Chains A and B, each alone.
Chain A
Amino acid sequence: SQKIEQNSEALNIQEGKTATLTCNYTNYSPAYLQWYRQDPGRGPVFLLLIRENEKEKRKERLKVTFDTTLKQSLFHITASQPADSATYLCAPSYNQGGKLIFGQGTELSVKP
């Protein structure tokens, strides 16, 4: 079965730096991959979606890359702010409208 791995250790960075979070998957490539943000005690909130034929997607300070050779997606937050502190979940899907398989998330802490 598919396995989704995100850094289990929390990522601590200084305000203004770029945060880079990693999502690795096993076996075959997903049709698309989504990234979500989850704050403590809240539901996940959708951030970005990238399709298997796309290398990169951007939205304001956010950038997602998708490397099917490495079986990896990277999620970048540039000019990070303390308000970006949260857990970030990656969620591949293996068909166009299908179910998502969530990673366990990486907790990001941005210090002022």
Chain B
Amino acid sequence: DAMVIQNPRYQVTQFGKPVTLSCSQTLNHNVMYWYQQKSSQAPKLLFHYYDKDFNNEADTPDNFQSRRPNTSFCFLDIRSPGLGDAAMYLCATSRDRRRAPYQPQHFGDGTRLSIL
């Protein structure tokens, strides 16, 4: 089945130690998103790619970076994780909105990041 896969499901890192989370998709969708979700809160959009075009949200900290080397893969890099960055990180994809508006997003099951 076509899907969005996030690895690892659980990640533990030390305060200040860089960490990378990965997302892959077999849906061949143009758009990929990264969200941060803290306990009992709404998913918060960090940034998204439209093909290779990177779109950062205005309130996303500089500590968060992303790379999309090809259509299938996208990475979230946290350069110096702080305790406040402990959260679930969700990757999502959607189809090209220029050809098909009103598209739902397809989510992976997330990576839960803990900071020691």
Contact = CB atoms under 8 A, between A and B. Distances in A.
Contacts of B112: 41
B81 interface: no
Given A43-B90, A43-B109, A104 B42 contact: yes
A96 B41 contact: no
A62 B86 CA distance: 34
Interface residues of B, number: 27
Interface string A36-75: 0000011111100101000000000000000000000000
A41 B42 CA distance: 14
Contacts, number: 55
B105 interface: yes
What bracket does the count of chain A residues touching chain B fall in? 20 to 34
Interface in B45-98: 45, 48, 90, 92, 94, 96-98
B66 to A, nearest CB: 15
A72 B51 CA distance: 33
B42 A97 contact: no
Contact of A96 (B4, B48, B101, B109): B101
A112 interface: no
A83 to B, nearest CB: 18
